[in-house]
Amino acid sequence: MPKNEEVSLASLGIQMPYSMQAEQSVLGAALVDETVLNRLITDMEPEMFYSDQNRAIYETMRSLYTESEAVDIVTLVNALASNKTFASADDAKVYLARIAETLPSVSNVDSYFKIVKEKYQGRRLIDAARSILNETASGEDADLLLESAEQKIYDIRSGRDKSGVKTIRESILEVIDTMQKLSGADRDKFAGIPTGFNYLDTVLTGLGRSDLIILAARPGMGKTSFALNIATNVARQQKVPTIIFSLEMTCEQLTDRILSSTANIDSQAFRTGRLNNSDWNDFAQATSLLYNAPIYMDDSSGISVPEIKAKIRTINQDPKKEKIGLVIIDYLQLMQSAKRTESRVQEISDITRNLKIMAKELNVPVIALSQLSRAAEKTTGRSDHRPQLSDLRDSGSIEQDADIVLFLYRAAYYNAQNGEENQANENEAECIVAKNRHGETSVVRLGWDGAHTRFSNLDVTHEF
């Protein structure tokens, strides 16, 4: 096939699948029973109709519904005549009357909807296959082609359309649906995921789904420990499946840290195996608590965002497993970009941009740990060494792409430089909310237990 020649369906002898009867039956059921339309609004998109006329009728129904107008033959005929879907009001009336009269049974509307949806999925698969063939013929990089092909199929499987364009009316419907879910009995499934750190949750209102959260600190501040504490809290307390991608530590080392913290065993004693009888009892209890916790770990080195997405998809597509609800990456600067870049700054920019896209596509919070530059260590004009946004290492895109930026800071770490008269509390730390796209910035004080690599809540109010 010539390089610039696009694949046509006619040349392959393929026709787009659709069922006119099923589409008309769905519309007829919605027209004669308003409870049907209530259900369709949240489950059916206009794009699922192959017929332009049927699609326009459904869009008009949705518009009337959004404006709290009655949806019946009279109001619908009037609206369709106004937006020129039919040549005249009489034509609209005849068509609507025909689909209402020929409706087999309102009670079978779920079966009609299933047919419409299956035909729509078939058309999307054909479009995806055609696009994959065209992209492959263009001679692009094989890894990018594989990622693109995998993404197209994944979007279809997860029920997402890549068009992205919608009206304010459609968005209002989605907001109403979300507000109803947030105020309903199952609100925990849709609200932000609690981290287990009370005051931090107050500031952030939990970990927002689709948010990219950067957790940054200088070495030795405990960012891996904090991330593992959050992972353990989320998996154990909220039962949210969590996956940790560690580019620096092995899965066994991560498990050691999690068990040591949970069992309240000194981390050094844990690593050396010098446990007393009480420690062994605590260890047994911790393993029992964590054994069935939905925590996944991956210690692949130099992993890229497409590889992370592929591994998450594998879990999400397993019917025996719950979908991943939280992603943690330790850490950003050890990741690799999926495409060639001219500089490390561009590479980090590409990685953070794609992490944000991944968080949005999977609708899960992504916590990416990050190094800070040495600027935070300098004493000139910054005697307390508190980190700030300009300290984010390698690229300003980290700050730009992140929804939330958290800094960990322990003043006691710098005790030797502070002098005897200014000794900080060894058992306290700060989580600095330096950027918060959804609310205010703040400083949250935390307890720190270095022997057990564990952060905890302090019985104090956070400072605004």
DSSP 146-199: HHHHHHHHHHHHTT--S-----HHHHHHHHHHHHHHHTSTTGGGTSPBP-S-HH
Q: What is the pLDDT of residues 357-413, one digit of tens each?
A: 889 888 899 999 988 877 666 655 556 678 888 778 666 678 788 899 999 988 887
Q: Which two tokens stand for residue 266?
A: 């000194």
Residues 6 or more apart in contact with residue 61 via CB below 8 angstroms: 27, 30, 31, 37, 71, 76
Chosen domain end from 126, 156, 186: 156
Q: Classify residue 166: in a domain, yes or no.
A: no
The fraction of the chain above a pLDDT of 90, given in percent, is 13
The answer to whether residues 270 and 145 belong to one domain is: no
How many CA atoms lie less than 13 Å away from 449 in the CB half-sphere? 16
The answer to whether residues 130 and 276 belong to one domain is: no
The answer to whether residues 362 and 250 belong to one domain is: yes
Residues 6 or more apart in contact with residue 55 via CB below 8 angstroms: 46, 47, 49
The answer to whether residues 306 and 367 belong to one domain is: yes
The answer to whether residues 130 and 231 belong to one domain is: no
Q: Classify residue 167: in a domain, yes or no.
A: no
Please give the chain's pLDDT, 464 residues, in tens: 333 445 565 556 677 888 999 999 989 888 888 778 877 876 788 888 998 889 989 888 888 876 777 788 888 888 888 888 887 888 888 998 888 888 888 888 889 888 998 898 888 888 888 878 777 776 666 766 776 777 777 666 665 554 556 677 767 777 777 677 666 666 666 668 899 898 898 898 889 888 999 999 888 888 999 999 999 999 988 899 999 999 888 888 888 888 888 888 777 777 777 777 787 888 888 888 888 889 999 988 878 888 888 888 888 888 888 999 999 998 888 888 766 666 777 888 888 888 998 898 888 999 999 888 776 666 555 566 788 887 786 666 787 888 999 999 888 877 655 554 556 778 888 899 989 988 888 899 998 887 778 888 886 554 44
| Domain membership of residue 272 as a residue range | 194-455
* Amino acid letter for position 265: I
CB-CB neighbours of 172 under 10 Å: 12
CB-CB neighbours of 39 under 10 Å: 15
Give the single-character DSSP code of 463: B
Q: Classify residue 292: in a domain, yes or no.
A: yes
CA 133/CA 376 separation, integer angstroms: 50
In the prediction, which pLDDT does 377 show? 66
Q: Classify residue 321: in a domain, yes or no.
A: yes
Query: What are the residues facing 295 on neighbouring strands?
Result: 242
The answer to whether residues 433 and 333 belong to one domain is: yes
* Number of helical (H) and strand (E) elements in the chain, helices listed first: 18, 9
Q: What CATH number should be reported for the domain holding residue 447? A: 3.40.50.300
Q: Classify residue 170: in a domain, yes or no.
A: no
Residue 248: active-site member: yes
Name the domain count of the chain: 2
Chosen domain end from 156, 183, 202: 156
The answer to whether residues 314 and 408 belong to one domain is: yes
The answer to whether residues 139 and 201 belong to one domain is: no
Find the catalytic residue in 248, 361, 377, 428: 248
The answer to whether residues 199 and 149 belong to one domain is: no
Which of 293, 195, 321 has its CA nearest to residue 236? 293
The answer to whether residues 92 and 35 belong to one domain is: yes
Q: Classify residue 161: in a domain, yes or no.
A: no
* Amino acid letter for position 116: V
Chosen domain end from 103, 131, 156: 156
Q: Classify residue 421: in a domain, yes or no.
A: yes
* Amino acid letter for position 111: S
Q: What CATH number should be reported for the domain holding residue 33? A: 1.10.860.10
Q: Tokens 């209102």, residue?
A: 205
The answer to whether residues 149 and 202 belong to one domain is: no
Q: What is the pLDDT of residues 2-53, one digit of tens each?
A: 334 455 655 566 778 889 999 999 898 888 887 788 778 767 888 889 988 8
Q: Classify residue 185: in a domain, yes or no.
A: no
Query: What are the residues facing 392 on neighbouring strands?
Result: 372
Give the single-character DSSP code of 105: -
CA 245/CA 252 separation, integer angstroms: 13
The answer to whether residues 257 and 146 belong to one domain is: no
